[in-house]
A and B are shown apart, each in its own frame.
Chain A
Amino acid sequence: MPIKIALAGNPNSGKTTLFNALTGSNQFVGNWPGVTVEKKEGKLKGHKDVVITDLPGIYSLSPYTLEEVVARNYLIHEHPDAILNIIDGTNLERNLYLTTQLLELGIPTVIAINMMDVVKKNHDVIDVARLGQELGCPVVEISALKGIGIQEAAKKVVFLAQEGLPTAPVHKFAEEVENVLTQIEEKITGVKEEEKRFFAIKLFERDEKIKELLDCVPEVEDIVKETEEKMDDDSESIITNERYTYLSSIIEHCYVTKSKRKLTVSDKIDRIVTNRWLALPIFAIVMVIVYYVSVTTVGTMATDWVNDGVFGDGWHLFGIGSSEYTEKSDEFSDASLKTEAYFDAAEAAGIDVEALRASWEDGELDETALAAFETEAQAAGLTGEAEVMDDETGEVAETIPVALQDFESAVAVREPDPADYGVWVPSIPVLIEDGLTAINCVDWLQDLILSGIVGGVGAVLGFVPQMLVLFLFLAFLESCGYMARIAFIMDRIFRKFGLSGKSFIPMLIGTGCGVPGVMASRTIENDRDRKMTIMTTTFIPCGAKLPIIALIAGALFQGAWWVAPSAYFVGVAAIVLSGIMLKKTKMFAGDPAPFVMELPAYHLPTVGNVLRSMWERGWSFIKKAGTIILLSTILLWFLQGYGVENGSFGRVTDLNNSILAAIGGVIAPLFAPLGWGDWKAAVAAVTGLIAKENVVGTFGVLYGGLDEVAENGWQIWDAMRMEFTMLSAYSFLVFNLLCAPCFAAIGAIRREMNSAKWTWFAIGYQCIFAYAVSMCIYQLGMLFTTGAFGIGTVVAFLIVALILYLLFRPYHEKNKLTVKVRV
């Protein structure tokens, strides 16, 4: 039997730092059963048989927050062998409040006073021996950040756990309260002697949840009422006051402070950082730096490297030889453009070049045929015209005349091989392909592994470096104490539409990628606020949605400047509307919990802790890529690649014959009211589930038969103009912006919701909302531009009415916050 030790303490008391110091890398992170409160366990360094459980940070053992209930249930049901209670030495009284409650549980307890280095620096004195006497348990001084005294604390708590003697609380309340508690204790049966005081106090406080833990609940209401009347206060407040009175009395004996309440450094920083005028500008600057570095510079560079290098063609180690290669490669594309143009001109002039062109395309130029062609071309005085396209606008930027001499030199240019320049590292797909070919793997399996698994999961893993950079910043902001201030500053604004001040961070990150955005919602303690934030974060256009915007703007709106900003506006409006509407539903109703939050003192976090926090989040994402995302991409690979072709079922070469196309045909009419009932658009929206930028790629395949299109897809703009009107294109854009996010983000939602039901609800809500909004845009747009009026218009008006009703109906407050916990 391993020894079980529970680590308990207030939030911001340095609990996580101590836990990391005690367990090192021997950690297991999960969730407490049934709730999204993180549970961490680890083995004590050097003691394989000692398991430490990191309880959530709590201020008391009352039943008001999820964290408190979770911690309390663990202590009562699992009955750890000992408790290590960490308290902040700079904030003794408040921290000891929890200690008095822990001591009542009868579990051997060691108190570790943290931040002793700061206490000493302030020239304050804590009489540790006396404090231990007064509280009736061993007390040790530590500094978790500096690693002082940790071994001693560990030794003491292990010793106490092995000894296994139950402790009795030493502290006493006022006489009348003690009398009542003794009376209640006598009525309690079926509970260990040392736990009786805890249950007696909880019964006195009328703690409903504790009654569920007792076999038989004694009738104590009369005595409680009597005492309440006598003391003119409710029972819970009586106990709270008693605890604080008791604590003040012992602190008087054990704590001498020299610094008589002058402003600390943290106070001074807060004066500036949360100042009425400076708060928002400072916040904006911090966010711009975070966003700029993680999304645009370092993050993008790293992501490009992973996408194009590790999971693409390969890369040049340390960039050696890459500039020479790029030069040669540019030269080649230039030359092939000229060659193509010349061939085209020859064809137009009636010269047969088919065989020659094929040999050139295969890279095995037929020299004799070439010589023959050149003579013929010279005789005809042939010149071609190479059209250089502008990647941005898709228009012809330049027309270069190609004479015979130009053609002769151009046709001789060979495609450069990147491996010839510098140190070339082949990519993972290339390596796997070589491996599979070497073992004679069957074709379909090779394709499944390469384009299905490696391609799909690789696309998702490409975001990992970017996320790690972002997580690094978040971990730093969190542990230095600024994150708590952000919530404070933003709270007034976000409160107005039912979200919390902390919802801002996920949304900001969501502009880069929805996955870390959703994951950043972890910092929101309030369950309702967090769920709502998770549901609305992906409305913000993420980086992968930008190509869709560019495609629609370019193809249908002549690249109008306002299309992209309007997409962000739609995203923000969707969040605000959803926030207000959802807050008024039963599910999210509840007291708009007033903002009360402890702000930790500012401090420089240790590198180890920041890196650890970054890695924990990153790793949980990588694990997900290995499960949900893997399965989803395999499924879509199958639907995309298989179907009936030439009368038999099997691998299809044309996407038009795939199962996905068939499904698209079935669901397409569903989107007819939105203005794009064409199956191609439906299929594109479905492939967007893998990654949103796939929408553009799919259009490329479906409209142009092109394997690859530019990011904004200019090659297919003409085809798009045939199929879409401005209105239907905008409706398509809005639907894709707001509907279910990609699989990776859905996976993140699943993890943060920690419930399949809530995940489905979130995705369902997003899709229905997207559908409703797109429909309104299309139908009402049709009405105003062409005057078309039909059933769709009526439905659109009904939707608008419904949304208005949901927005402005009176707000019903729920009286009670019910915290459901599976015990």
Chain B
Amino acid sequence: MPLTMTRAGEVNEIKRIGGKEEVRKFLETLGFVVGSRVSVVAENHGNVIVNIKDSRIAISQEMANKIMV
């Protein structure tokens, strides 16, 4: 399911990342690679703040929808 549907605090493993190549590549350098463990810290009108590899990354709803866990 997409990352936007997970509950805050729940730890999940990334299964697949979709979206445009350029953004996907940027996400990869930030640690969003298949197999990484990710959890949602906070949510604001669809935009989410997630915890990945011990850092906090804010991503928009469109992008979070493309990260499958």
User: A residues touching B (Cβ–Cβ < 8 Å)?
Assistant: 59-60, 62, 64-65, 90-94, 97, 236-237, 240-241, 244, 261, 263, 266-267, 270-271, 274-276, 279, 484-485, 487-489, 491-492, 495, 591, 593-601, 817
Given A595-B58, A596-B60, A488-B47 contact (CB < 8 Å): yes
Report chain B residues within 8 Å CB of A60: 29
A488 to B43, CA, bound (A): 11
- Asked if B51 contacts A595 (CB within 8 A), the reply is no
Given A276-B43, A491-B47, A491-B60, A596-B23 contact (CB < 8 Å): yes
- Asked if A90 contacts B54 (CB within 8 A), the reply is yes
A652 to B42, CA, bound (A): 67
Q: Which residue of B lies closest to A270 (CB)?
A: B42
Nearest 8 interchain pairs by C-beta? A595-B60, A60-B29, A594-B63, A599-B56, A488-B58, A91-B54, A59-B29, A240-B28
- Asked if B54 contacts A94 (CB within 8 A), the reply is yes
- Asked if B60 contacts A594 (CB within 8 A), the reply is yes
Report chain A residues within 8 Å CB of B42: 267, 270-271, 274-275
A-B CB contact pairs (8 Å), 10 listed: A64-B22, A93-B54, A261-B39, A266-B56, A274-B49, A275-B44, A492-B45, A595-B58, A597-B59, A598-B58
**Nearest CB of chain B from residue A15's CB, rounded to whole Å:** 15
Given A270-B49, A597-B58, A599-B56, A261-B11 contact (CB < 8 Å): yes
Report chain B residues within 8 Å CB of A64: 22, 25-26
**Nearest CB of chain B from residue A491's CB, rounded to whole Å:** 7
- Asked if B58 contacts A484 (CB within 8 A), the reply is yes
Report chain B residues within 8 Å CB of A597: 57-59
Which positions 12-26 of chain B face chain A at CB distance < 8 Å? Answer: 19-20, 22-23, 25-26
- Asked if B47 contacts A492 (CB within 8 A), the reply is yes
Q: Which residue of A lies closest to B23 (CB)?
A: A594
- Asked if A596 contacts B28 (CB within 8 A), the reply is no
CB of B1 closer than 8 Å to a CB of A: no
Report chain A residues within 8 Å CB of B54: 90-94
Contact of B44 among A92, A267, A276, A598 (CB under 8 A): A276
A198 to B45, CA, bound (A): 42
Contact of A596 among B33, B34, B59 (CB under 8 A): B59
- Asked if A591 contacts B53 (CB within 8 A), the reply is no
Additional A-B contacts beyond A271-B42, A594-B60 (12; CB < 8 A) = A60-B29, A65-B26, A94-B31, A94-B52, A241-B34, A244-B36, A267-B51, A270-B56, A484-B58, A488-B49, A596-B60, A597-B58
B19, B23, B28, B58: most-surrounded residue (chain A CB, <10 A): B58
Report chain A residues within 8 Å CB of B28: 236-237, 240
A59 to B53, CA, bound (A): 13
- Asked if B59 contacts A595 (CB within 8 A), the reply is yes
Report chain B residues within 8 Å CB of A274: 42, 44, 49
**Nearest CB of chain B from residue A404's CB, rounded to whole Å:** 76
- Asked if A594 contacts B59 (CB within 8 A), the reply is yes
Report chain B residues within 8 Å CB of A241: 33-34
- Asked if B23 contacts A593 (CB within 8 A), the reply is yes
Please encode chain B, from 55 to 69, with 1 for each CB lying within 8 Å of some chain A CB and 0 for all others: 111111011000000
Report chain B residues within 8 Å CB of A270: 41-42, 49, 56
A261 to B10, CA, bound (A): 11
A383 to B26, CA, bound (A): 85
Report chain A residues within 8 Å CB of B47: 488, 491-492, 595
Contact of A244 among B31, B59, B62, B63 (CB under 8 A): B31
- Asked if B23 contacts A93 (CB within 8 A), the reply is no
B22, B54, B63: most-surrounded residue (chain A CB, <10 A): B54
Report chain B residues within 8 Å CB of A263: 9, 41
A491 to B45, CA, bound (A): 11
Report chain A residues within 8 Å CB of B5: none
Q: Which residue of A lies closest to B28 (CB)?
A: A240
Given A91-B53, A91-B55, A241-B34, A236-B25 contact (CB < 8 Å): yes
- Asked if B30 contacts A598 (CB within 8 A), the reply is yes
Q: Which residue of B lies closest to A12 (CB)?
A: B55
A143 to B34, CA, bound (A): 33
Q: Which residue of A lies closest to B27 (CB)?
A: A596
Report chain A residues within 8 Å CB of B26: 59, 64-65, 596
Given A94-B31, A270-B49, A279-B44, A591-B57 contact (CB < 8 Å): no
A62 to B27, CA, bound (A): 12
A594 to B67, CA, bound (A): 13
A62 to B30, CA, bound (A): 12
- Asked if A62 contacts B59 (CB within 8 A), the reply is no
A31 to B57, CA, bound (A): 28
Contact of A267 among B43, B52, B56, B57 (CB under 8 A): B56
A86 to B44, CA, bound (A): 32
Report chain A residues within 8 Å CB of B43: 276
Report chain A residues within 8 Å CB of B60: 491-492, 495, 594-596
A91 to B49, CA, bound (A): 16
A64 to B21, CA, bound (A): 11
- Asked if A599 contacts B57 (CB within 8 A), the reply is yes
Q: Which residue of B lies closest to A266 (CB)?
A: B56
Q: Which residue of A lies closest to B51 (CB)?
A: A267
A593 to B45, CA, bound (A): 18
Report chain A residues within 8 Å CB of B44: 274-276, 279, 488-489, 492
A266 to B28, CA, bound (A): 23
Report chain B residues within 8 Å CB of A599: 49, 56-58
- Asked if B58 contacts A596 (CB within 8 A), the reply is yes
A102 to B66, CA, bound (A): 30
**Nearest CB of chain A from residue B33's CB, rounded to whole Å:** 5
- Asked if A598 contacts B57 (CB within 8 A), the reply is yes
A94 to B53, CA, bound (A): 6
A163 to B26, CA, bound (A): 36
B8, B25, B52: most-surrounded residue (chain A CB, <10 A): B25
Q: Which residue of A lies closest to B61 (CB)?
A: A492
A276 to B55, CA, bound (A): 21
A92 to B53, CA, bound (A): 8
Q: Which residue of A lies closest to B9 (CB)?
A: A263
- Asked if A93 contacts B58 (CB within 8 A), the reply is no
- Asked if B30 contacts A596 (CB within 8 A), the reply is yes
A237 to B59, CA, bound (A): 20
- Asked if B45 contacts A94 (CB within 8 A), the reply is no
